[in-house]
């Protein structure tokens, strides 16, 4: 029995036909071997690789891959599927079971004038740092700081745990998220950003089909009123979009004020309420959306603004409300206009004050202020003037009592008949 154990202990670990599973196999059998090799093939189903050794040119099929941690329960662990050509160390254990122990980078020589490569490792003490034969094991890895932990794919996607607590996750330079512990900041970097939610969506992107050097940017949000709604009801668009909702009944008024007119003055912001009429993910609209819109607010690049509401609008200010316009102010109402003030009302008409209407009522009046043909009396308080006498030598004087004195007789008032007036003014 002892000679058998000694013979097996001296044999190559792959040549043995038994394992250390019984008392017939002594402890610490054949020594383990570490072999440097290249991954020649990958089995995606079995999670194994074929390894070709570097020096003795042996071929080892279906070798499993080790990991910092793995468990057979639902594939728990940390692992990576290697690619063909990866340089590795394969361990042949004492019991004869081979596995890939780790992966290493091949040695490369670098040009010292390159600023994008890491500091090289010199092959010998006699070499000068100015030579172009310095060795490197960077293998295309980006420069790192001491303590950084990195994961990186061949196509540029990466995860970096920076020393200091910063976490960086990305698919490219323009598609990444950075978590910064200072102020618990999260920074997103992207060229096109899309977020889909049961409540709506966010789309931030460059306009397709435009110039690659300076395309238009568009930011759009959509909101469902209920999570089960097929379409969204609210859309917010900012940027140079081409599918703003068209105005139907107010198109002439919008055009008359030059809102969003011309290539150099586009609409750049729109808030629209169109119940169940907006595509929830993309924010796209159709021909029915303009008529379904209940509220729409827009402004253009020049600052012109337009607000349309199919319902009531209430503005409440607990203190001063002031409106300033360097040009005109115009209010059009198809029914009534009411202005109510509890204290004092002042209207300064400037050079000209024009009041017009079919009927104008002053202070609650019900009858016209003056009608043609009405008789009027005028009371004179103070004598002011003398005029032609009733008889030669007898002047006519307007007296202090309001009467008219002529030839020694006094009339109490002046009387007359209205010959012109406006019956539309009620007093």
The least confident of 17-21, 26-30, 162-166 is 17-21
Whether 365 and 427 have beta carbons less than 8 Å apart is answered as yes
Flag whether pLDDT at 282 surpasses 90. Answer: yes
**Percent share of the chain, pLDDT over 90:** 57
Distance CA 51, CA 64 (A): 10
Question: Over the stretch 187-228, which tens digit does the pLDDT of each residue have?
Answer: 999 999 999 999 999 999 998 877 778 899 999 999 999 999
Question: Over the stretch 76-92, which tens digit does the pLDDT of each residue have?
Answer: 999 999 999 999 999 99
Instruction: Classify residue 269 as exposed, middle or buried by CB count within 10 Å of its CB (0-12, 13-18, 19+).
Output: middle
Reported as type and span, the H/E element at residue 186 is: strand 185-190
- For 76-109, letters b (16+ CB in 10 Å) and e give eeeeeebeeebbbebbbebebebbbbeeeeeeee
Distance CA 91, CA 104 (A): 14
Q: Which of 295-309, 360-374, 387-401 has the highest mean pLDDT?
A: 295-309
Distance CA 248, CA 200 (A): 27
pLDDT at 118: 44
Token look-up 């079919």 returns 358
Question: Over the stretch 141-150, which tens digit does the pLDDT of each residue have?
Answer: 888 899 999 9
More confident residue, 325 or 30: 325
Please state, rounded to an integer, the average pLDDT across all residues of the chain: 82
Each domain of the chain, given as residue ranges in start order, spans: 32-104, 141-191, 198-309, 375-426
More confident residue, 179 or 405: 179
- Is 392 in a helix, a strand, or coil? coil
Reported as type and span, the H/E element at residue 40 is: strand 33-43
Mean pLDDT within 286-296: 95
* Residue among 405, 404, 414 nearest 376 (CA): 414
Flag whether pLDDT at 68 surpasses 90. Answer: yes
pLDDT at 116: 47
Q: CA geometry: angle at 321 spanning 320 and 322, to 5°? A: 110
Q: How many CB atoms lie within 10 A of CB 343?
A: 4
The 8-class DSSP code of residue 236 comes to E
Mean pLDDT within 52-61: 91
Counting runs of H as helices and runs of E as strands, what totals does the chain give?
3, 29
Q: What are phi and psi of 10, to 5 degrees?
A: -85, -15
CATH architecture, domain 32-104: Beta Barrel (2.40)
């Amino acid at each position: 029995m002892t000679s058998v154990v000694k013979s097996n202990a001296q044999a190559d670990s792959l040549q043995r036909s038994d394992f250390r599973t019984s008392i017939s196999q002594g402890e610490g059998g054949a020594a383990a071997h570490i072999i440097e090799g290249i991954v020649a093939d990958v089995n995606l189903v079995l999670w194994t690789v074929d390894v070709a050794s570097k020096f003795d040119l042996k071929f080892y099929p279906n070798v499993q891959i080790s990991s910092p941690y793995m468990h057979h329960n639902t594939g728990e662990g940390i692992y990576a599927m290697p690619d063909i050509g990866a340089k590795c160390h394969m361990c042949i254990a004492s019991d004869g079971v081979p596995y890939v122990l780790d992966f290493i980078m091949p040695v490369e020589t670098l040009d010292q004038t390159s600023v994008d490569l890491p500091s090289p490792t010199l092959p010998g003490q006699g070499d000068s740092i100015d030579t172009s034969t310095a060795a490197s094991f960077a293998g295309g890895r980006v420069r790192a700081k001491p303590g950084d932990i990195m994961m990186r794919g061949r196509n540029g996607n990466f995860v970096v745990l920076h020393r200091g607590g910063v976490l960086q996750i990305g698919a490219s330079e323009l598609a990444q998220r950075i978590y910064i512990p200072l102020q618990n900041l999260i920074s997103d970097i992207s060229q096109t950003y899309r977020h889909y939610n049961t409540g709506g969506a966010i789309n931030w992107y460059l306009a397709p089909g435009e110039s690659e050097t300076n395309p238009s940017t568009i930011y759009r949000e959509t909101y469902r009123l209920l999570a089960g709604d097929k379409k969204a009801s609210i859309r917010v668009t900012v940027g140079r979009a081409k599918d703003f909702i068209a105005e139907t009944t107010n198109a002439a008024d919008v055009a008359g004020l030059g809102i969003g007119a011309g290539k150099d003055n586009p609409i750049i912001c729109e808030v629209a309420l169109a119940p169940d009429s907006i595509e929830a993910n993309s924010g796209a609209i159709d021909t029915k959306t303009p008529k379904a819109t209940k509220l729409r607010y827009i402004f253009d690049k020049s600052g012109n603004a337009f607000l349309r509401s199919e319902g009531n609008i209430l503005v409440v200010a607990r203190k001063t409300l002031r409106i300033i316009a360097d040009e005109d102010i115009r209010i059009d109402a198809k029914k009534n206009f009411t202005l109510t003030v509890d204290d004092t009302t002042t209207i300064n008409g400037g050079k000209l004050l024009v009041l017009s209407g079919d009927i104008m009522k002053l202070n609650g009046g019900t009858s016209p202020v003056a009608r043609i043909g009405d008789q009027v009396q005028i009371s004179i308080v103070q004598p002011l003037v003398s005029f032609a006498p009733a008889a030669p030598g007898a002047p006519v004087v307007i007296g202090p009592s309001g009467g008219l004195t002529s030839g020694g007789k006094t009339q109490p008032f002046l009387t007359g008949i209205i010959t012109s007036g406006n019956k539309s003014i009620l007093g």
